[in-house]
Structure 1
């Protein structure tokens, strides 16, 4: 009888029932040569964020998800996933989703697309990859303290990563969220046969912009599995997810 009463109370009292998801995020995380160990760690912690903040995560490694209707998703996250693996029809479906108001979040390796392989996706990212030095510790600076992806982050903080060098061949205007201070590490410390490049004072590591009616958030940080256990990095990701999916949270 006690169990029956408890079950009835759960049905009758909305405050007792589980919270309703605010939105649904599709995460595609496909292993690549240098990015695979992060997947179980990232999944565990992103799904924990979803439970804590009442949103739904659909996790997949299969590009076939792009053969289906994408409109239920408030945002799609490419997590270290080579986007060029999508077929032509899958690419067109994703393009239509974003142009019509769907939203995209691009994390670390997913920002790398071979030149000419998918020009639309290069423009979606907003910058084109050149190369990166060896993993080093550097000072990351907050360029936009009013964006949710920087809430809780200090103005200057130490981070160790592959600090991607990028160019802007498509002349895409972006709003920078994080930069890396090149004076705090050696951009030329790179492998034999490659040439390390410097970008100077304007070296973005996270940014946002719009494509069609869709919001796009990009972070180049996130090379190793342990980063997905780091509270600062998870706070950065959470802010990016929240803004990308909802468009809310900016203070100006």
Structure 2
């Protein structure tokens, strides 16, 4: 009778623990996303709605989500527990003292990318770390200037065979602040361009989104996302979702 009782009790314990164990195992396989939005330069008021929109995207796609504005997390090993780092308009100023990563933090980001980590950089993430050439190379360019205001501009998808652009029309018009770049890397995979003439400027087709593999990692960048309204636009959100999925290696 005692053996029968022990067997029954063991079975009950196993049934009780199995769902929890399965849940932990499932969490371990979920894509882990960290949104970083610390600023020492211009701070966009689109950051807060951007964080919430990215949280929803993560929930809808079954990704683990974390958001931070504390640069010290780079020193404390935060990148060791994630798959994709989303740089959400994380600006710096123009002086070396304003740059939010130095020494251990820089080494941590380089190690993350070189270890195969993914980076999805949005809008003013290109307006950062002007005294760290590696960062500019990772992004694929550096912010140089933007024309005044947020006029309607005509965009063209030049590579529709990418998760960040597959859902977009070949040509469409939207409102944003339009970036021009310096040190643009012509070897990146160009995804989308702006017709400069559509906003009354010269410059032909200006790069607006691209991706590349860089030192072992995947890096996606979009210059879109200046306005708060961007993070309520289905097409823009799908553009960003696809970029994150590509950076994570989930979609090609």
TM-score above 0.5, yes or no: yes
Asked if 1:181 corresponds to 2:169, the answer is no
**1:167 positional shift:** 2.4
**1:127 positional shift:** 1.2
Rounded to whole Å, the distance in 2 between the matches of 1:45 and 1:211 is 27
Rounded to whole Å, the distance in 2 between the matches of 1:153 and 1:34 is 29
Residue equivalent to 1:72: 81
Q: Secondary structure at the match of 2:210?
A: strand
What is the TM-score of this pair, normalised by structure 2? 0.82
Matches within 5 A, 1:67-106: 67-69=75-77, 70-82=79-91, 84-106=99-121
Does the CA-based 8 Å contact 1:71-1:102 persist in structure 2?
Answer: no
Rounded to whole Å, the distance in 2 between the matches of 1:9 and 1:93 is 40
Residue 164 of structure 1, aligned match among 162, 169, 179:
179
Rounded to whole Å, the distance in 2 between the matches of 1:75 and 1:30 is 17
Q: Say if 1:14 and 1:183 are closer, same or farther in 2 by CA, change over 3 A.
A: farther
Residue equivalent to 2:124: 109
Q: Secondary structure at the match of 1:158?
A: strand
* Rg comparison, structure with higher value: 2
Does the CA-based 8 Å contact 1:74-1:245 persist in structure 2?
Answer: yes
Does the CA-based 8 Å contact 2:123-2:224 persist in structure 1?
Answer: yes
Q: Secondary structure at the match of 1:27?
A: strand
Asked if 1:24 corresponds to 2:32, the answer is yes
Residue 67 of structure 2, aligned match among 29, 51, 59:
59
Rounded to whole Å, the distance in 1 between the matches of 2:31 and 2:91 is 25
Residue equivalent to 2:246: 243
**1:183 positional shift:** 2.5
**1:151 positional shift:** 2.3
Q: Secondary structure at the match of 1:236?
A: helix
Rounded to whole Å, the distance in 1 between the matches of 2:234 and 2:138 is 28
Does the CA-based 8 Å contact 1:35-1:223 persist in structure 2?
Answer: no
Residue equivalent to 2:5: none
RMSD between superposed Cα atoms in Å = 2.6
What is the TM-score of this pair, normalised by structure 1? 0.82
Matches within 5 A, 1:177-216: 177-187=191-201, 198-201=202-205, 203-216=206-219
Q: Say if 1:199 and 1:168 are closer, same or farther in 2 by CA, change over 3 A.
A: farther
Q: Can you give the 5+ residue segments of structure 2 that lack an aligned partner in the other structure? A: 1-14, 93-98
Does the CA-based 8 Å contact 2:49-2:228 persist in structure 1?
Answer: yes
Rounded to whole Å, the distance in 2 between the matches of 1:39 and 1:182 is 26
**1:35 positional shift:** 2.8
